[in-house]
Structure 1
Amino acid sequence: MSMLDKLKGMMKGHEDTARQGVEKAGDAVDEKTGNKYQSQVDTAQQKADEQIDRQPPTDG
């Protein structure tokens, strides 16, 4: 099992928490870099959210 598969399994049922983590991580990067890479960070956050949205719903 790949690391990505393990991560997907851990996120299952915790999509909102994962989105919050992505947002906080991006905000932290922006703060540390003085928003120098804000566009790239925003793109990465969007891609991560898209991946979270692609997770199959939980059973139960």
Structure 2
Amino acid sequence: MGLFESVKARLVPARDKVSGLAQQHGDRIQHGIDRAAKVVDERTRGKYSDRIQSGSGKAKGAVERLAHKDGTGPGGTTGAPPSTPPGTPPPAS
């Protein structure tokens, strides 16, 4: 077993625990992200508002992914992997 596989195997219990916490307290975590973003935006006097909004959105997305790692996404949809690589725009319809 290589180093990467060994580290990955040791992190599985931690990932499962974090996922469970995200499922239980997702709304509180999201509220905390919003509050932190608001405070930072106020302290920087709006100079970095777009970056703060982008970062808080990514943090909320990460919490959602952790909370729904059981194979179902928001709304009960399956978390099937996309057919195109990440970063590829969807096909035009």
Percent identity among equivalent residues?
27
Higher normalized contact order (CA 8 Å, seq sep 6+, divided by chain length):
1
Indicate how the Cα distance of structure 1 residues 46 and 9 shifts in structure 2: closer, same or farther if over 3 A, else same: same
Which residue in the other structure is 1:22 paired with? Answer: 33
Q: Which is helix-richer, 1 or 2?
A: 1
Q: Which structure 2 segments of 5+ residues have no match?
A: 1-10, 70-93
- Is the radius of gyration larger for structure 1 or structure 2? 2
Q: What stretches of structure 1 of length at least 5 have no aligned partner? A: none
Q: What TM-score, normalized by structure 1, do the two folds share?
A: 0.74
Aligned length in residues: 56
* TM-score where L is the length of structure 2: 0.50
**Aligned-residue offset at 1:52:** 1.0
